[in-house]
Structure 1
Amino acid sequence: MPITSDISQTTTLAIQIGAVLTWLGLVFLTSEILHRLKQDPELVRKVVHIGTGNVLLISWWLHIPTWLCITAGVTFSAIALASHRINILPMLDDVGRKTYGVFYYALSITILVTLLWENYPQYAVIGAMVMSWGDGMAALIGKRFGTHIFVHLGNKRSYEGSFAMFATSLIVILGIFGITHGIQPRDLGVAIPVAAIAALLEAYSPGGTDNLSVPLSSAALSYVLQSFL
């Protein structure tokens, strides 16, 4: 009986890992195709940004264990840091700026799964999804439709992009609450301030640090406000 159980657990783990790797493979394949087709580098970067953020949602759905999430997070953090130095992932560094944003992104996900995955995975998912979808849509909408520009510490932003960040974050947070317990009116008291703060941090955090400040603050504030409400 224990042997059968071990085999079953191994099979389940293999399926979980295979599903995540398949998704990541599709994300990076799409980005590489866009890169070779000479598409806008910002679009290529955001395809990876949004796609990799969805990994945490998939992992939550598949009940991937904490130790595996942490291991993956540490691995990708190391790859991101190395890429900053030796350009392992050129499609992520081809937008005319050089920051530690990709490393901060991977590091923030590692911190989230380490602190929250065992007991409060939904808040880790909120942090990752607000960053991936919110920031991704802010960049794409801001670049395409942004006409009202403001600059802070060298970061060029638009009010249109910031609103896209707020609106997307609001939808993401309510969506996660809908999965966990069904959307309640009080959830707006959590989602609105969290989305607003995420938009402010995305606009004013310097040098790619929004990839660290936005997910961590979104997860923490969601947890605190939800506990009070």
Structure 2
Amino acid sequence: VKEALGGPFVYCIIFLFSTVLFWRDNLTGVTAVSMMAAGDGMADIIGRRFGANNKWWFSDRKSVAGSVAFFVSAFVATFGLASWLSYTGALTTLSMNTASLAVSIAWISLACTVVELLPFGDDNWTVPIVGGVLAETMLS
């Protein structure tokens, strides 16, 4: 019960608010959700599979493999969704060129990767909040 009320419940709440408040008119919701879903999801999968022998020196629960998976997955998912939404005309407020968009999303992905590594707080909350706030400031 505790696990069900933890990660999955928080994920649903973040997804709901991101969809209702931000999904169609800017990249804030897309970024918040994709950082959490793709980044945090792949960090867990890859970290468990390939991270046993490459733990960070400051955490016995986090691995370099998981962090790399977080960054790459978060970047690819967010950039892919942003590009697709822009290409299809679903997102008309994006005024950045492709290179600027990629650089901004890379910085947001890196920041969220670092936040996911922090030994305090619940990354199910902190990652999408940081991703959303940075998207609101960097991608608007």
TM-score normalized by the length of structure 1:
0.50
* Alignment size in residue pairs: 129
Cα displacement (A) at 1:131: 0.9
Cα distance in 2 between the residues matched to 1:205 and 1:115: 29
Query: Aligned partner of 1:199: which letter?
Result: T
Matched, 1:138 2:43: yes
Matched, 1:129 2:43: no
Greater RCO structure (CA 8 Å; 6+ sep)? 2
Cα distance in 1 between the residues matched to 2:114 and 2:128: 13
Cα displacement (A) at 1:137: 1.0
Deviations 1:125-174 (A, max 9, x none): 2211221111111111111111211354xx61001110110011111121
Paired position in structure 2 for 1:191: 105
Cα distance in 2 between the residues matched to 1:180 and 1:223: 17
Structure having the higher Rg: 1
Q: Give ranges in structure 2 of 5+ residues lacking alignment.
A: 88-96
Paired position in structure 1 for 2:133: 220
Query: Aligned partner of 1:216: which letter?
Result: I
Cα distance in 2 between the residues matched to 1:137 and 1:118: 25
Deviations 1:64-91 (A, max 9, x none): xxxxxxxxxxxxxxxxxxx43xxxxxxx
Query: Aligned partner of 1:102: which letter?
Result: P
Deviations 1:40-81 (A, max 9, x none): xxxxxxxxxxxxxxxxxxxxxxxxxxxxxxxxxxxxxxxxxx
> Per the alignment, in what secondary structure is the counterpart of residue 113 of structure 1?
helix
Over the aligned positions, Cα root-mean-square deviation in angstroms equals 2.4
Q: 1:156–1:99: structure 2 CA closer, same or farther, 3 Å change rule?
A: farther
Deviations 1:173-208 (A, max 9, x none): 21022113357111122111110011112221536x
Query: Aligned partner of 1:187: which letter?
Result: L
- C-alpha contact 1:107 1:212 (8 A) present in aligned 2: no
The one of 157, 164, 172 equivalent to 2:62 is 157
Q: 1:131–1:107: structure 2 CA closer, same or farther, 3 Å change rule?
A: same
Q: 1:180–1:114: structure 2 CA closer, same or farther, 3 Å change rule?
A: closer
Q: 1:193–1:141: structure 2 CA closer, same or farther, 3 Å change rule?
A: same
Q: 1:205–1:214: structure 2 CA closer, same or farther, 3 Å change rule?
A: farther
TM-score normalized by the length of structure 2:
0.77
Cα distance in 1 between the residues matched to 2:16 and 2:24: 13
Cα distance in 2 between the residues matched to 1:102 and 1:173: 21
The one of 82, 104, 112 equivalent to 2:10 is 104
Higher relative helix content = 1
Cα distance in 2 between the residues matched to 1:148 and 1:206: 21
Kindly, what percent of the aligned residue pairs are identical?
A: 24
Cα displacement (A) at 1:119: 3.2
